[in-house]
Structure 1
Amino acid sequence: MEQEKQHDRFVTFPYPQENYSDGSVNYGGIDLTNETQRIDEIEEAKRSPDLRRLLEEVNLQDGLFMTLGCDYRQLDGGISGYVDFTFRSGLPASLTLDAVNLDDYFWAYLAKQELQHHISDGAMVSYARSALKWSWSELEMGGIRGKKITLAFCCQHSEDAEWCLDHLRHFLVTEFPSLPPRQA
Protein backbone atom coordinates (compact mmCIF):
# COMPACT_ATOMS: atom_id res chain seq x y z
CA MET A 1 0.00 0.00 0.00
CA GLU A 2 1.31 3.43 -0.89
CA GLN A 3 1.74 6.26 1.56
CA GLU A 4 -0.35 9.29 0.65
CA LYS A 5 2.20 11.87 -0.49
CA GLN A 6 -0.16 14.85 -0.59
CA HIS A 7 -0.46 16.91 2.58
CA ASP A 8 -3.70 15.89 4.24
CA ARG A 9 -5.41 18.46 6.47
CA PHE A 10 -7.26 15.66 8.23
CA VAL A 11 -4.44 14.13 10.26
CA THR A 12 -5.84 14.93 13.71
CA PHE A 13 -9.06 13.13 14.63
CA PRO A 14 -11.80 14.12 15.24
CA TYR A 15 -11.75 17.08 12.86
CA PRO A 16 -14.28 19.91 12.53
CA GLN A 17 -16.81 20.56 9.78
CA GLU A 18 -15.59 22.61 6.79
CA ASN A 19 -17.67 24.56 4.28
CA TYR A 20 -16.09 25.02 0.84
CA SER A 21 -16.41 27.91 -1.61
CA ASP A 22 -18.22 25.69 -4.14
CA GLY A 23 -21.01 25.13 -1.61
CA SER A 24 -19.98 21.59 -0.68
CA VAL A 25 -19.49 20.58 2.94
CA ASN A 26 -17.15 18.22 4.73
CA TYR A 27 -19.22 17.35 7.79
CA GLY A 28 -16.14 16.54 9.86
CA GLY A 29 -14.93 13.43 11.60
CA ILE A 30 -17.25 11.85 14.13
CA ASP A 31 -16.06 9.23 16.60
CA LEU A 32 -18.95 6.81 16.19
CA THR A 33 -17.42 4.43 18.73
CA ASN A 34 -18.20 7.04 21.42
CA GLU A 35 -21.07 8.97 19.83
CA THR A 36 -23.12 6.26 18.14
CA GLN A 37 -26.24 8.44 18.00
CA ARG A 38 -24.51 10.78 15.54
CA ILE A 39 -24.55 8.28 12.67
CA ASP A 40 -27.65 9.99 11.27
CA GLU A 41 -25.60 13.18 10.76
CA ILE A 42 -23.48 11.46 8.11
CA GLU A 43 -25.01 12.56 4.82
CA GLU A 44 -23.02 10.04 2.76
CA ALA A 45 -24.56 7.15 4.71
CA LYS A 46 -27.99 8.30 3.53
CA ARG A 47 -26.85 7.77 -0.09
CA SER A 48 -25.57 4.21 0.33
CA PRO A 49 -27.11 1.36 2.34
CA ASP A 50 -23.82 -0.58 2.37
CA LEU A 51 -21.84 2.44 3.55
CA ARG A 52 -24.35 2.90 6.39
CA ARG A 53 -24.07 -0.80 7.30
CA LEU A 54 -20.25 -0.57 7.22
CA LEU A 55 -20.30 2.45 9.55
CA GLU A 56 -22.69 0.71 11.92
CA GLU A 57 -20.90 -2.62 12.09
CA VAL A 58 -17.34 -1.31 12.22
CA ASN A 59 -18.02 1.37 14.85
CA LEU A 60 -20.98 0.21 16.87
CA GLN A 61 -19.60 -3.23 17.74
CA ASP A 62 -16.52 -4.13 19.69
CA GLY A 63 -13.94 -4.64 17.02
CA LEU A 64 -10.47 -3.86 15.81
CA PHE A 65 -11.30 -0.86 13.62
CA MET A 66 -13.09 2.47 13.64
CA THR A 67 -13.98 4.79 10.78
CA LEU A 68 -12.70 8.34 10.56
CA GLY A 69 -14.49 9.74 7.52
CA CYS A 70 -16.17 8.80 4.26
CA ASP A 71 -17.57 10.08 1.02
CA TYR A 72 -20.05 8.70 -1.50
CA ARG A 73 -21.08 10.74 -4.50
CA GLN A 74 -22.63 10.43 -7.93
CA LEU A 75 -20.41 11.65 -10.75
CA ASP A 76 -21.08 11.93 -14.48
CA GLY A 77 -19.27 8.63 -15.06
CA GLY A 78 -20.41 6.71 -11.99
CA ILE A 79 -19.95 6.61 -8.24
CA SER A 80 -16.88 7.57 -6.25
CA GLY A 81 -15.97 7.91 -2.63
CA TYR A 82 -13.73 6.68 0.13
CA VAL A 83 -13.67 5.27 3.62
CA ASP A 84 -10.97 6.38 6.08
CA PHE A 85 -10.41 4.04 9.00
CA THR A 86 -7.83 3.02 11.57
CA PHE A 87 -7.19 0.45 14.26
CA ARG A 88 -8.83 1.33 17.56
CA SER A 89 -6.48 2.54 20.28
CA GLY A 90 -5.12 0.15 22.87
CA LEU A 91 -4.52 -2.80 20.52
CA PRO A 92 -1.21 -4.70 20.58
CA ALA A 93 1.54 -3.24 18.39
CA SER A 94 1.97 -6.64 16.72
CA LEU A 95 -1.52 -6.17 15.27
CA THR A 96 -1.40 -2.51 14.33
CA LEU A 97 1.93 -2.86 12.52
CA ASP A 98 -0.07 -4.61 9.80
CA ALA A 99 -1.91 -1.40 8.93
CA VAL A 100 0.14 -0.76 5.79
CA ASN A 101 -0.42 -4.37 4.65
CA LEU A 102 -4.20 -4.43 4.94
CA ASP A 103 -4.54 -4.23 1.16
CA ASP A 104 -2.60 -7.50 0.78
CA TYR A 105 -4.87 -9.19 3.32
CA PHE A 106 -7.91 -7.81 1.47
CA TRP A 107 -6.75 -9.17 -1.91
CA ALA A 108 -6.14 -12.57 -0.28
CA TYR A 109 -9.65 -12.45 1.23
CA LEU A 110 -11.17 -11.79 -2.21
CA ALA A 111 -9.11 -14.62 -3.76
CA LYS A 112 -10.46 -16.92 -1.05
CA GLN A 113 -14.00 -15.77 -1.88
CA GLU A 114 -13.39 -16.67 -5.53
CA LEU A 115 -12.42 -20.21 -4.56
CA GLN A 116 -15.32 -20.67 -2.14
CA HIS A 117 -17.88 -19.44 -4.66
CA HIS A 118 -16.35 -21.07 -7.76
CA ILE A 119 -15.77 -17.75 -9.50
CA SER A 120 -13.33 -17.75 -12.38
CA ASP A 121 -9.82 -17.34 -11.11
CA GLY A 122 -8.90 -13.74 -10.52
CA ALA A 123 -12.18 -12.11 -11.57
CA MET A 124 -13.05 -10.55 -8.19
CA VAL A 125 -9.50 -9.49 -7.42
CA SER A 126 -9.02 -8.00 -10.90
CA TYR A 127 -12.24 -6.02 -10.66
CA ALA A 128 -11.47 -4.81 -7.14
CA ARG A 129 -7.95 -3.76 -8.13
CA SER A 130 -9.41 -1.67 -10.97
CA ALA A 131 -12.05 -0.01 -8.77
CA LEU A 132 -10.21 0.43 -5.45
CA LYS A 133 -7.15 2.37 -4.35
CA TRP A 134 -5.60 1.78 -0.93
CA SER A 135 -3.32 4.32 0.73
CA TRP A 136 -2.20 5.32 4.21
CA SER A 137 -1.14 8.50 5.96
CA GLU A 138 -0.11 9.56 9.42
CA LEU A 139 -2.82 10.12 12.01
CA GLU A 140 -2.98 11.62 15.48
CA MET A 141 -5.87 10.66 17.72
CA GLY A 142 -5.99 11.59 21.37
CA GLY A 143 -2.29 12.44 21.35
CA ILE A 144 -1.37 9.01 20.00
CA ARG A 145 0.19 8.61 16.56
CA GLY A 146 -1.03 5.92 14.20
CA LYS A 147 -1.96 5.22 10.61
CA LYS A 148 -5.07 6.30 8.73
CA ILE A 149 -6.01 3.86 5.99
CA THR A 150 -7.98 5.17 3.02
CA LEU A 151 -9.86 2.94 0.64
CA ALA A 152 -11.03 5.04 -2.31
CA PHE A 153 -13.44 3.61 -4.86
CA CYS A 154 -14.59 4.64 -8.31
CA CYS A 155 -17.24 2.49 -9.99
CA GLN A 156 -19.47 2.87 -13.04
CA HIS A 157 -22.63 1.72 -11.25
CA SER A 158 -23.97 2.16 -7.72
CA GLU A 159 -24.36 -1.63 -7.31
CA ASP A 160 -20.61 -1.99 -7.97
CA ALA A 161 -19.80 0.59 -5.30
CA GLU A 162 -22.17 -1.21 -2.92
CA TRP A 163 -20.36 -4.51 -3.70
CA CYS A 164 -17.02 -2.90 -2.80
CA LEU A 165 -18.35 -1.44 0.45
CA ASP A 166 -20.00 -4.72 1.44
CA HIS A 167 -16.74 -6.61 0.96
CA LEU A 168 -14.78 -3.98 2.91
CA ARG A 169 -17.31 -4.24 5.76
CA HIS A 170 -17.08 -8.03 5.86
CA PHE A 171 -13.28 -7.89 5.71
CA LEU A 172 -12.98 -5.37 8.59
CA VAL A 173 -15.65 -6.90 10.83
CA THR A 174 -15.24 -10.63 10.24
CA GLU A 175 -12.35 -11.72 8.03
CA PHE A 176 -9.33 -9.77 9.32
CA PRO A 177 -10.22 -10.27 13.02
CA SER A 178 -10.47 -14.05 12.44
CA LEU A 179 -6.94 -14.36 11.02
CA PRO A 180 -4.29 -15.97 13.22
CA PRO A 181 -2.45 -13.51 15.48
CA ARG A 182 0.41 -11.73 13.80
CA GLN A 183 3.91 -11.82 15.25
CA ALA A 184 5.78 -8.60 16.08
Structure 2
Amino acid sequence: MYFREGYTKFPYRPSNGSEDCQNPTPNAGGIDLVNHPEKIDEILEIAQLPELKTTLIELNKPDSPFITLGCSHWIGKYDNSHFSYIEFTFKDAKIANNFNFLVQLEKDLHLFFIEKLTTGFTKEQRDSYATYLKDQVQVYFRKIQYQDDLELRNLLGLEFHFQDRQMVDFHHKALRHFLTQYLVLPL
Protein backbone atom coordinates (compact mmCIF):
# COMPACT_ATOMS: atom_id res chain seq x y z
CA MET A 1 0.00 0.00 0.00
CA TYR A 2 1.33 3.40 -0.88
CA PHE A 3 0.33 7.04 -0.40
CA ARG A 4 -1.03 8.71 -3.53
CA GLU A 5 -1.72 12.40 -4.05
CA GLY A 6 -5.15 13.42 -5.30
CA TYR A 7 -8.30 15.22 -4.33
CA THR A 8 -8.75 15.78 -0.61
CA LYS A 9 -12.43 16.71 -0.43
CA PHE A 10 -15.45 14.74 -1.61
CA PRO A 11 -17.37 15.60 -3.64
CA TYR A 12 -14.77 16.91 -6.06
CA ARG A 13 -15.39 18.97 -9.18
CA PRO A 14 -15.87 17.54 -12.66
CA SER A 15 -12.99 17.95 -15.09
CA ASN A 16 -12.00 17.12 -18.64
CA GLY A 17 -10.48 13.78 -17.68
CA SER A 18 -7.46 12.17 -19.31
CA GLU A 19 -6.71 12.56 -23.00
CA ASP A 20 -3.73 10.21 -22.85
CA CYS A 21 -5.78 7.14 -23.75
CA GLN A 22 -7.88 5.63 -26.54
CA ASN A 23 -11.16 6.25 -24.74
CA PRO A 24 -11.08 9.75 -23.24
CA THR A 25 -14.10 10.50 -21.07
CA PRO A 26 -14.83 13.54 -18.94
CA ASN A 27 -14.41 13.16 -15.19
CA ALA A 28 -17.98 13.38 -13.85
CA GLY A 29 -16.73 14.62 -10.48
CA GLY A 30 -17.51 13.11 -7.10
CA ILE A 31 -20.99 11.63 -7.39
CA ASP A 32 -22.69 10.68 -4.13
CA LEU A 33 -24.07 7.26 -5.08
CA VAL A 34 -25.14 6.52 -1.50
CA ASN A 35 -27.76 9.28 -1.58
CA HIS A 36 -28.20 9.45 -5.36
CA PRO A 37 -27.86 5.94 -6.85
CA GLU A 38 -29.87 7.10 -9.88
CA LYS A 39 -26.83 9.12 -11.01
CA ILE A 40 -24.70 6.06 -11.71
CA ASP A 41 -25.06 6.36 -15.49
CA GLU A 42 -23.45 9.81 -15.33
CA ILE A 43 -20.18 7.93 -14.80
CA LEU A 44 -19.19 7.33 -18.41
CA GLU A 45 -16.05 5.35 -17.51
CA ILE A 46 -18.14 2.34 -16.44
CA ALA A 47 -19.75 1.82 -19.86
CA GLN A 48 -17.37 -1.02 -20.81
CA LEU A 49 -17.08 -2.56 -17.33
CA PRO A 50 -20.42 -4.04 -16.19
CA GLU A 51 -18.81 -5.63 -13.11
CA LEU A 52 -17.45 -2.24 -12.03
CA LYS A 53 -20.96 -0.81 -12.35
CA THR A 54 -22.40 -3.66 -10.26
CA THR A 55 -19.65 -3.11 -7.69
CA LEU A 56 -20.55 0.58 -7.43
CA ILE A 57 -24.22 -0.32 -6.96
CA GLU A 58 -23.51 -2.95 -4.29
CA LEU A 59 -21.00 -0.90 -2.31
CA ASN A 60 -23.32 2.11 -2.10
CA LYS A 61 -26.44 0.29 -0.91
CA PRO A 62 -28.00 1.69 2.29
CA ASP A 63 -26.98 -1.36 4.34
CA SER A 64 -23.42 -1.39 2.99
CA PRO A 65 -20.54 -0.16 5.19
CA PHE A 66 -18.88 1.41 2.12
CA ILE A 67 -19.00 4.67 0.19
CA THR A 68 -17.47 4.76 -3.28
CA LEU A 69 -15.70 7.98 -4.17
CA GLY A 70 -14.39 7.58 -7.69
CA CYS A 71 -13.54 5.19 -10.49
CA SER A 72 -12.24 5.16 -14.01
CA HIS A 73 -11.32 2.99 -16.97
CA TRP A 74 -8.81 3.82 -19.69
CA ILE A 75 -7.44 1.92 -22.65
CA GLY A 76 -3.73 2.52 -23.19
CA LYS A 77 -3.01 4.78 -26.13
CA TYR A 78 -0.10 2.69 -27.41
CA ASP A 79 -0.37 -0.80 -25.94
CA ASN A 80 -4.17 -1.39 -25.76
CA SER A 81 -3.85 -2.38 -22.10
CA HIS A 82 -6.72 -1.62 -19.73
CA PHE A 83 -6.32 0.42 -16.57
CA SER A 84 -9.09 0.91 -14.04
CA TYR A 85 -9.39 2.04 -10.47
CA ILE A 86 -12.04 2.30 -7.79
CA GLU A 87 -11.79 4.49 -4.71
CA PHE A 88 -13.85 3.98 -1.58
CA THR A 89 -13.98 4.61 2.13
CA PHE A 90 -16.08 3.37 5.01
CA LYS A 91 -19.22 5.04 6.32
CA ASP A 92 -17.75 4.63 9.81
CA ALA A 93 -14.75 6.98 10.01
CA LYS A 94 -13.27 4.87 12.84
CA ILE A 95 -12.96 1.93 10.48
CA ALA A 96 -11.65 4.14 7.67
CA ASN A 97 -8.96 5.49 9.99
CA ASN A 98 -7.90 2.14 11.44
CA PHE A 99 -4.68 1.92 9.43
CA ASN A 100 -3.74 -1.53 10.76
CA PHE A 101 -7.09 -2.81 9.51
CA LEU A 102 -6.50 -1.23 6.08
CA VAL A 103 -3.07 -2.84 5.78
CA GLN A 104 -4.57 -6.21 6.72
CA LEU A 105 -7.39 -5.64 4.21
CA GLU A 106 -4.82 -5.25 1.45
CA LYS A 107 -3.00 -8.45 2.46
CA ASP A 108 -6.25 -10.39 2.75
CA LEU A 109 -7.45 -9.10 -0.62
CA HIS A 110 -4.30 -10.29 -2.40
CA LEU A 111 -4.57 -13.69 -0.69
CA PHE A 112 -8.25 -13.85 -1.68
CA PHE A 113 -7.40 -13.13 -5.32
CA ILE A 114 -4.73 -15.83 -5.31
CA GLU A 115 -6.92 -18.40 -3.56
CA LYS A 116 -10.17 -17.79 -5.44
CA LEU A 117 -8.87 -16.88 -8.89
CA THR A 118 -6.36 -19.70 -9.28
CA THR A 119 -8.60 -22.69 -8.65
CA GLY A 120 -7.34 -25.51 -10.85
CA PHE A 121 -3.94 -23.88 -11.38
CA THR A 122 -0.72 -25.80 -10.88
CA LYS A 123 1.59 -24.54 -8.11
CA GLU A 124 3.81 -22.97 -10.77
CA GLN A 125 0.85 -21.19 -12.39
CA ARG A 126 -0.40 -20.00 -9.01
CA ASP A 127 3.03 -18.66 -8.03
CA SER A 128 3.30 -16.92 -11.40
CA TYR A 129 -0.12 -15.28 -10.93
CA ALA A 130 0.84 -14.16 -7.40
CA THR A 131 3.97 -12.45 -8.75
CA TYR A 132 2.05 -10.94 -11.66
CA LEU A 133 -0.67 -9.71 -9.30
CA LYS A 134 1.80 -7.62 -7.28
CA ASP A 135 2.45 -5.49 -10.37
CA GLN A 136 -1.05 -5.47 -11.82
CA VAL A 137 -3.11 -4.72 -8.70
CA GLN A 138 -2.00 -1.83 -6.53
CA VAL A 139 -3.60 -0.38 -3.40
CA TYR A 140 -3.16 3.23 -2.32
CA PHE A 141 -4.53 5.56 0.34
CA ARG A 142 -4.82 9.21 1.28
CA LYS A 143 -6.76 11.36 3.73
CA ILE A 144 -9.90 13.09 2.51
CA GLN A 145 -12.70 15.17 3.92
CA TYR A 146 -15.99 13.44 3.17
CA GLN A 147 -18.71 16.01 2.49
CA ASP A 148 -18.97 18.30 5.53
CA ASP A 149 -17.47 15.90 8.09
CA LEU A 150 -14.80 17.59 10.17
CA GLU A 151 -12.85 14.40 10.77
CA LEU A 152 -10.62 13.36 7.88
CA ARG A 153 -10.76 9.73 6.83
CA ASN A 154 -8.70 7.40 4.69
CA LEU A 155 -9.67 6.73 1.12
CA LEU A 156 -8.56 3.39 -0.33
CA GLY A 157 -7.93 3.07 -4.04
CA LEU A 158 -7.43 -0.13 -6.00
CA GLU A 159 -5.81 -0.02 -9.42
CA PHE A 160 -6.13 -2.84 -11.92
CA HIS A 161 -3.89 -2.91 -14.99
CA PHE A 162 -4.27 -5.85 -17.36
CA GLN A 163 -3.94 -6.52 -21.07
CA ASP A 164 -7.66 -6.96 -21.65
CA ARG A 165 -10.92 -5.47 -20.46
CA GLN A 166 -12.38 -8.79 -19.34
CA MET A 167 -9.54 -9.38 -16.87
CA VAL A 168 -9.99 -5.90 -15.38
CA ASP A 169 -13.74 -6.43 -15.03
CA PHE A 170 -13.18 -9.91 -13.59
CA HIS A 171 -11.02 -8.40 -10.83
CA HIS A 172 -13.70 -5.79 -10.08
CA LYS A 173 -16.13 -8.68 -9.59
CA ALA A 174 -13.68 -10.50 -7.33
CA LEU A 175 -13.10 -7.31 -5.34
CA ARG A 176 -16.86 -6.92 -4.86
CA HIS A 177 -17.17 -10.49 -3.58
CA PHE A 178 -14.26 -9.96 -1.20
CA LEU A 179 -15.65 -6.71 0.22
CA THR A 180 -19.29 -7.80 0.49
CA GLN A 181 -18.95 -11.47 1.44
CA TYR A 182 -15.54 -12.13 3.01
CA LEU A 183 -14.24 -8.98 4.66
CA VAL A 184 -14.77 -8.89 8.42
CA LEU A 185 -14.98 -5.37 9.79
CA PRO A 186 -13.40 -4.49 13.14
CA LEU A 187 -15.78 -4.00 16.05
**Range into which the TM-score falls when normalised by the shorter chain:** 0.7 to 0.9
Counting matched residue pairs gives: 176
Q: Is 2:63 the counterpart of 1:62?
A: yes
Partner of 1:3: 3
CA contact (8 A) 1:68 1:85 kept: yes
Q: Match of 1:14, as an amino acid?
A: P
Q: Is 2:145 the counterpart of 1:148?
A: no
Q: Distance in 1 between matches of 2:26 and 2:97?
A: 37
Q: Is 2:176 the counterpart of 1:169?
A: yes
Q: Match of 1:140, as an amino acid?
A: Q
Q: Match of 1:80, as an amino acid?
A: F
Shift of 1:144: 2.5
Aligned-residue sequence identity (percent) comes to: 26
Partner of 2:16: 19
Partner of 2:86: 83
Of Structure 1 and Structure 2, the greater strand share is in: 1
Kindly tell me: are residues 67 and 94 of structure 1, through their superposed partners in 2, closer, same or farther at Cα, counting changes over 3 Å?
closer
Kindly tell me: are residues 38 and 96 of structure 1, through their superposed partners in 2, closer, same or farther at Cα, counting changes over 3 Å?
farther
Shift of 1:60: 2.4
Kindly tell me: are residues 158 and 93 of structure 1, through their superposed partners in 2, closer, same or farther at Cα, counting changes over 3 Å?
closer
CA contact (8 A) 1:100 1:136 kept: no
Shift of 1:109: 1.6
Alignment RMSD (CA, Å) = 2.6
Kindly tell me: are residues 144 and 113 of structure 1, through their superposed partners in 2, closer, same or farther at Cα, counting changes over 3 Å?
same
Shift of 1:120: 2.9
Q: Match of 1:41, as an amino acid?
A: E
Shift of 1:38: 0.5
Q: Is 2:98 the counterpart of 1:98?
A: no
Kindly tell me: are residues 42 and 182 of structure 1, through their superposed partners in 2, closer, same or farther at Cα, counting changes over 3 Å?
same
Partner of 1:37: 38
Unaligned runs of 5+ in 2: none
Shift of 1:151: 0.8
Q: What is the SS of the residue equivalent to 1:38?
A: helix
Q: Distance in 2 between matches of 1:45 and 1:129?
A: 24
TM-score (norm 2): 0.81
Q: What is the SS of the residue equivalent to 1:137?
A: strand
Kindly tell me: are residues 87 and 151 of structure 1, through their superposed partners in 2, closer, same or farther at Cα, counting changes over 3 Å?
same
CA contact (8 A) 2:96 2:154 kept: no
